[in-house]
Amino acid sequence: MTPVERPGLPRRAVLRLALGAGGVGALTACGLSVDDTVRPGLEVDAAQDREEIQYQPEPPRAGMTPAELVQGFLLAGASTGSGLSVARSYLTPEASSAWNPDDAQTIVQAQDLPQIRSEGDGTMHVQTRVAARIDADGRYSLAKASDGAIVRFGVSRVDGEWRISKVQQDFGRLLPSSRVDQMYRRYRVHYAAIGWNRLVPDLRWIPSDQEATRLVRAQLGDVPGYLAGAVQTDADARLTVDAVPVIDGVAQVDLKTDLSSDPTVRKNFAAQLVASLMQLPAVTQVALSVAGSTLDLPGIEPPLTSPAQFGFVEVGLPDGQYAIVREDERAVPVPLRQVGAATDTDVAARESPFSEVPTRWARLAVSLDGKEIAGVRGSGLELVRWFDDKTSVPVEQFATHMTRPVYDASGVLWVAGRGELDSSRLWVINTAVDPSEPDAEPAEVPAPWLTGRRPIAISVSPDSTCLAAISTDDGGGDVQIQVSGIARQPNGLPTSTATQSLQVAASVEQARDLTWITPTTLGVLGRRSTDKAVRPLIVEVGGQIEALAAVTSARSIATTGGERELYVTTSSGRTYSRVGASWSALGVTGTVVVPSS
C-alpha cells in the first residue's frame, strides 16, 4: 500500500540504522551479525525458562527528523506488550489504530544495516536484507541469501512535530536477529492424526507475553495446508472471550457452544489443547469449559495434564531395532544400541542371515526389526529387497532416478524417483504381504508438490505422519527442502501426501541427504551461502538452523534417536558418530545403515 503523500519533507536524506537495544538516537558503525542458528538450551522439546531481558524503548524526542522518527519507531516496535504503547506514540491516532503488528509480518533483519531515506512527498523508504520472516500465524521462514524487503511509511506534522501517518499494510515489525529469542518463544500446536492415536506437532513462534492466549489462538486456527488430509481439528471451536487466564497454574479455556458435537472430535480437540498448553512453564493443568460449564469428557477425569489421558501416545524407539553393517557384499545385523561400540572383530564373528548384497546396490535401507534390506542400484533404475532367510526379490522397474529407499515406523517401504508421468514421483511398497502377491507391487502416492521436480532424498518422520524431501529442478538447481503430511488408510498404508508442502531451510543452497530427528527437527547434509562446503545441519521444521562441525566428503546422515545420536557416512563408506561438538569414526570400517533414516 502506498503511504500518504504530504508536502514539506526536508531534503532527501539517507540514514543507516542499527536496530539494537539502544536508544532512539543510538547509531552504530558496525553491523549486526546474522545468526540463524538454534542456540544451545533452547530445544523445542524443553521447557524454556529463560531469563527475561527487559527492553525499554524510548518515546519520540522533540525536533526529530522524519528519518530519526522512523528509526525510533522501528526500535520501539521491536517489542511486545507494554512496549508497543511507546511505538504507537510515534504514530498519528489514525495510523496507530490501523497498525496491529501481531496480525502482520515480522521481518527478521539480516546483517547489513537497513537504510532509511526520503522519497519525497511525505514518504519514507526503509530497505533491508532479510534473514527470516515470522508471519501472523507464528510461522518462522528462513529467507534465501538474496532476499530483501522495502517498507514505506507516510509522515506528516502534528503540532509542529513529525509523526508517522501511514504504516505499510503488511508490516508488523523489523526485528534484529539478536532480539528474536528475547521476544519470541518456540511452541508446538497439535493436530490429531487421522486414523492414528498420534498428535502431530506444528512449530510456532509466539511473542513472549500473553502466551496462553496466543497459543490457544494458534491452536484454534485452520489446519496448515501442508498437513491437510493427514490431520484433523475442530474447525468450529472458538473462545468465548479472547483470553486464556492462567490462575494458580490452571490454564482456563472457555469455549463457545458451537464446539463439535462429535465425541471423538471433541475428545481429540481437548487433547490438542492440553498438549499445547502444558508446554508453558506457568501451566500445571488445563481446565476446559463450554460457556462457563465444564466440558463433558466421558471417561476422562480431571486434572487434565497430559494427552495420554485421552489415549494419545508418544512415539518412542521400539525395542529390538537393528542396524546393518555392510562389509563388501556382506550385510550383518547389529543391535542398534551396540553400533557405537561395535568393532570389525565383532562384525566378523556374527553370522549374516542375508544373501550377498552386491556393492553396486549402494543406496540401502533396513527395516526397523532388521529382517529386511532394500537397495537401489547406483544407476537409480533397479530396486531389490533382501530377506533374512537368504532370499531376495527384484522389484520390476517402475521408475528412474530412484532415491535411497526408507522404511517408516509402520514397516512401509518408500522410494522417490521419476515415473512415466511428470507427476509420478513417490511410491510405497506394502512389506506386510508376500512379495509375490500383487499387493506387494509399488503403489504410487500422489505428491502434487513434487510435480516436475527431481527428488534427491526422502525421509519419513518418527511418528509416520510426515514426509520430508530434498528436490531440485531438472538442471540440479533450485534446491528445496519440503515437508508434507501423509494421509493413510486405517491399515496404515499411505494414500497420498497433502496437496501442499512446507518449505523449510530456504537458506540452504545445496543438499545431499536428510533424516528426521524429532517430529519437528531434521538432520540435513547441506550448504548455505555462508558455508564453505556441505556440512551436517540441524533444521527446525518452521524454525532456525544449527550448523554442526563439517565431515569431509559426507554423503548420508542418519540418527538412532536424537540429535546427539547422529551418524554421517562419507563417500568412502566410513561412518562417523557425533561426539560433543565433533565427529568420531566408528570402530567398524564397514558402512553402517540405520533404520528409519
Contact predicate 487/230, CB 8 Å? yes
Does the residue 241 lie in any domain?
yes
pLDDT of residue 41: 37
Quote the CA–CA distance of 132 and 205 in Å, as a whole number.
Answer: 12
* Helices and strands (H and E) in the chain: how many: 7, 39
Contact predicate 24/70, CB 8 Å? no
pLDDT of residue 46: 38
Does the residue 1 lie in any domain?
no
Question: Do 170 and 215 sit in the same domain of this protein?
Answer: no
Question: Do 339 and 244 sit in the same domain of this protein?
Answer: no
Q: 425-434: b or e for each residue (b if 16 or more CB lie within 10 Å)?
A: bbbbbbbeee
**Around 411, how many Cα atoms within 13 Å sit in the side-chain half-sphere?**
12
Does the residue 529 lie in any domain?
yes
Question: Do 458 and 399 sit in the same domain of this protein?
Answer: yes
Question: Do 465 and 427 sit in the same domain of this protein?
Answer: yes
Does the residue 317 lie in any domain?
no
Question: Do 589 and 536 sit in the same domain of this protein?
Answer: yes
pLDDT of residue 28: 33
Question: Of 290, 315, 316, 288, nearest to 304 (Cα)?
Answer: 288
pLDDT of residue 3: 37
Low-confidence ranges of the chain (pLDDT < 50): 1-52
Question: Do 35 and 136 sit in the same domain of this protein?
Answer: yes
Does the residue 433 lie in any domain?
yes
Please state, in angstroms and as integers, the Cα–Cα distance from residue 136 to each residue in 178, 279, 447, 544, following that order. 20, 21, 27, 17
Question: Do 272 and 383 sit in the same domain of this protein?
Answer: no
pLDDT of residue 315: 67
Structural domain of 228: 210-310
Quote the CA–CA distance of 259 and 324 in Å, as a whole number.
Answer: 50
Classify 178 as helix, strand or coil: helix
Does the residue 430 lie in any domain?
yes
CATH number reported for the structural domain that contains residue 584 in this entry: 2.120.10.30
Among the candidates 183, 200, 223, a domain finishes at 183
Question: In angstroms, what is the C-alpha Rg of the chain?
Answer: 27
Strand duo 123-134 + 105-109: pairing: antiparallel
Q: Is the pTM for the entire model greater than 0.75? A: yes
Question: Do 559 and 475 sit in the same domain of this protein?
Answer: yes
pLDDT of residue 53: 53
Exposed / middle / buried, residue 532 (Cβ in 10 Å: 0-12, 13-18, 19+):
exposed
Share of the chain above pLDDT 90, in %: 78
Question: Do 270 and 376 sit in the same domain of this protein?
Answer: no
Quote the CA–CA distance of 185 and 428 in Å, as a whole number.
Answer: 37
Question: Do 357 and 499 sit in the same domain of this protein?
Answer: yes
pLDDT of residue 290: 96
Residue 419's DSSP bridge partners are none
pLDDT of residue 378: 93
pLDDT of residue 231: 94
pLDDT of residue 57: 84
pLDDT of residue 2: 37
Question: Do 519 and 582 sit in the same domain of this protein?
Answer: yes
Exposed / middle / buried, residue 305 (Cβ in 10 Å: 0-12, 13-18, 19+):
middle
Q: pLDDT (tens digit, 9 = 90+) per residue, 216-242? A: 999 999 999 999 999 999 999 999 999
Among the candidates 310, 336, 351, a domain finishes at 310
Contact predicate 576/586, CB 8 Å? yes
Q: How far apart are the first and last CA of the chain?
A: 47
Among the candidates 288, 310, 332, a domain finishes at 310
Q: 156-181: b or e for each residue (b if 16 or more CB lie within 10 Å)?
A: beeeeebbbbbbbeebbbbbbbebbb
How many domains does the chain contain in total?
3
**Around 116, how many Cα atoms within 13 Å sit in the side-chain half-sphere?**
21
Q: pLDDT (tens digit, 9 = 90+) per residue, 40-63? A: 333 333 334 444 455 678 999 999
Quote the CA–CA distance of 101 and 91 in Å, as a whole number.
Answer: 13
Question: Do 456 and 492 sit in the same domain of this protein?
Answer: yes
pLDDT of residue 114: 86
